Amino acid sequence: MQFLYPSFLLLLPLGLIPVLIHIFTRLRLQRRGFPSLVLLESVRRERWSWVRLREILLLVLRTLFLLLIPLALSRPRLESRLPFRLGSDRMLLILDHSYSMAYGSRWQLALEAARRIIHSSSRPMLILSSHPDTVFSGRHTLLTLLDTLSASTISPTLQPALTRAAELYRQTPMPVIIITDLQARAVPENIPVPGGQLQIINLGSNRFDNAGITGITYDRRRLRVRIFNYGGTPVIRTVRLKLEGYQEEKVVNISARSAVFAEFSLPPDLRHHYSGIVELSSDSLLVDDRRFFTLETPSRVSVPIFVSSENQGKYLRLALVTDTLQFLPLLLNISELRRTDLTRYQAIIIADASALRPADWERLDFYLNSGGSALLCAPSLTNGNIPLPIRYEGPVSHLGFITPAEVDTTHPVLSGLRTVDLNAVRVYYHSRITGGRTLIRLANQDPLVIELPGKNLIIWTFTPVPEASDLVYRAAFVPLLYQTLKYLTGINRRNEWQTGDTVVLTVDTAEPFRLLMPAGEKTVFSEAGGIKPVVKITDTRLPGIYRLENGQHYEFAVNPLPEEGDLTPAPLEPLIRNRIKIYPPRLYAASELTGPLLYFAGLLLALELLLLGLESYRKTPVRR
């Protein structure tokens, strides 16, 4: 317990006054004769218990009252066990502002703790984990800020704020306190301890129940919603798809710490453009219980396939015509490349890159730089003519065959494909090309599929013919080709972003755009961004559908980071070993006792008056 005005405690001996008066009265009793004690004895016998009780009660009440008044005036506080003293000078508070703090009552507890810390310091400073560069100071400012602050929808880690705190500590040493739920993903491995004076008010717990939507994928008019149950017990949730004029629900049963998929068939009349929400029946953390999405599914995308012989494009064409709703393959001789306006196409396929002349490479490069994309099948190349950041090291033939050893299934091109399906593919010959990002690597470490991210280019180091590989016969061939083309055709139209991201959209015209977003509406301007102008949108703190309008129509969804929904706390042992003091929030739930003490004193006074009044009432004769 601490006292704001401890000098008032010197008045505590006042509480002895009733006791002293009592003792003094007893000692200085007047002794006198009385004619007869007969009546007195009988009255005293009858009233003895009540008189004694009343006497003791009054003595206790008066003593307590006189003790409570100076105690209340000294402004006592049941303070937390934080090492800083009440009224200490400087103090730096870091408030975890991620959306996991909105779980249950965590945010309210965090605000209460923050307010108490701010009240206890004469010069408090505050950093929000979401904006570590901004340091708020001044008690009034901070309290006003806390009044308006709510848990965000973004997912910052603690590292930037701690780094900033370390900088501030170097300038002026002061206690640093973090109010956080110590979520495992947010706590850095080697947490910096500024000056060895780091305290954490831990709002996290191992016992939580939360499920959230972690992703939405689209495939052939089917929407797949991934739901993850982060909690330790199985849960049943209702998943609801909401589109304009359309709604569908499904109930899913999710085991502990596992994921399930809920599939929705999109209605045909909306098949080209879908924009909506998938919602999960609410739990203690609402932010990850809904996810916005926007999908563009053009009716048919014409994809020219440039071949040097008809056989080279046969399997590609057959694969693409299986779903006529999406791609329209056009088989063209590679000599047509020079006469074709490539910019009309979102993507092209060159089935045999070895047939490209230097002028064709230039055209291809121009096309790629203009925003186009291409799938290049390169069984062999000629060094020196390729204007791409790759290196051709010659053809590779095998006596038998070679199979893929590594598959990067995290890449959208390969997502949904099983490694075992690709591992069985036999490759008889291919070219050895280095550079770019390898998506599939053969057993001899040669790349089989390469991406050149800056060029919107995917390179297959083989030709999709049975002589080069039996992939064309494999079940994985069609999905691989489709996903490659879908990736390439949509590569400039990223339609999902995270809250807090700076969204960069390539637009066709350098004009002002009207931006419609959950936070309101505003005008944004495009700026030069390479071949095409770009629009940068920084205010993406709220999840929702964002729409950019100006004749043209661009739409994207902004969602919170799904992983933030995993409330699993970081292990405390390493932190404790690092001499970081951790306090539970409830221990901190302390307050100034002046109010309760004064209330109690008033109660005592009322009780005393009641006792005295009761006595007077008993003495009042009844009028008949």
Partner 1 sequence: MLVNCYMRSSGIPLLRPELIARLKGIDFKARLVVEGFLSGLHRSPYKGFSVEFAEYRQYMPGDELKRIDWRVYGRTGRFFVREYEEETNLRAYLVLDASASMDYPAAGYTKLDYGRWLAASLALLLNRQKDSTGLVTFSAKIDRYIPPRATGAHLRVLFRELENLKPGGETDISTTLHELAERIRRRGLVILISDLWDDATAVVAALRHFRARKHELLVFHLFHPDEATLGFTNPVLLRDLETGQEITVDPRQIQYQYQNRFNRRCEYFRRACAEARVDYQSLSTATPFEEALFTYLERRRRLH
Burial of 507 (0-12, 13-18, 19+ CB in 10 A): middle
* Cβ neighbours, 10 Å, residue 531: 10
The pattern of x and - marking residues 489 through 518 that bind partner 1 according to CB under 8 A reads ------------------------------
The pattern of x and - marking residues 561 through 600 that bind partner 1 according to CB under 8 A reads ----------------------------------------
Instruction: Name the CA dihedral angle for 353, 356, 362, 363, rounded to a multiple of 10 degrees.
Output: -90
Q: Rounded CA gap, 572 and 201, in Å?
A: 12
DSSP three-state, residue 242: strand
Nearer to partner 1 (CB atom), residue 48 or residue 401: 48
**Beta strand spans in 244-390 (E):** 246-254, 258-265, 273-280, 290-296, 301-307, 327-333, 347-350, 373-377
Residues 6-25 contacting partner 1, CB under 8 A: 25
Nearer to partner 1 (CB atom), residue 53 or residue 318: 53
Residues in a beta bridge with 396: 430
Residue 68 · residue 16 · CB < 8 Å: no
Nearer to partner 1 (CB atom), residue 577 or residue 623: 623
Burial of 283 (0-12, 13-18, 19+ CB in 10 A): buried
Q: Which of 1, 5, 23, 42 binds partner 1 (CB under 8 A)?
A: 42
Nearer to partner 1 (CB atom), residue 43 or residue 589: 43
Nearer to partner 1 (CB atom), residue 30 or residue 410: 30
For residue 344, the 8-state DSSP code is G
Instruction: For the CB of residue 13, give the shortest distance to partner 1 in the complex, in Å.
Output: 24
Nearer to partner 1 (CB atom), residue 527 or residue 615: 615
Q: Which of 16, 20, 43, 443 binds partner 1 (CB under 8 A)?
A: 43
Nearer to partner 1 (CB atom), residue 25 or residue 382: 25
How far is the first Cα of the chain from the last one, in angstroms, to the nearest whole number?
58
Q: DSSP labels for 546-577?
A: EEEEESEEEEEEEE--GGGG--PBPPSHHHHH
> With CB under 8 A as the contact rule, which of the stretches 28-36, 147-155, 214-222, 533-541 interacts with partner 1?
28-36
Instruction: For the CB of residue 29, give the shortest distance to partner 1 in the complex, in Å.
Output: 5
- Residue 14: C-alpha distances to residues 72, 243, 601 (Å): 13, 74, 14
> With CB under 8 A as the contact rule, which of the stretches 45-53, 65-73, 397-405, 423-431 interacts with partner 1?
45-53
Q: Which of 54, 123, 185, 257 binds partner 1 (CB under 8 A)?
A: 54
By CB under 8 A, is residue 44 in contact with partner 1?
yes
> With CB under 8 A as the contact rule, which of the stretches 41-49, 340-348, 556-564, 585-593 interacts with partner 1?
41-49
Nearer to partner 1 (CB atom), residue 45 or residue 344: 45
Q: Which of 7, 17, 41, 309 binds partner 1 (CB under 8 A)?
A: 41
Q: Which of 35, 245, 268, 520 binds partner 1 (CB under 8 A)?
A: 35
Number of amino acids touching partner 1 (CB under 8 A)? 26
DSSP three-state, residue 498: strand
Please calculate the CA angle 545-547-549 and round it to the nearest 5 degrees: 170
Instruction: For the CB of residue 39, give the shortest distance to partner 1 in the complex, in Å.
Output: 5
Q: Interface with partner 1 by CB under 8 A: which residues?
A: 25-26, 29-44, 46-47, 51, 54-55, 615, 618-619
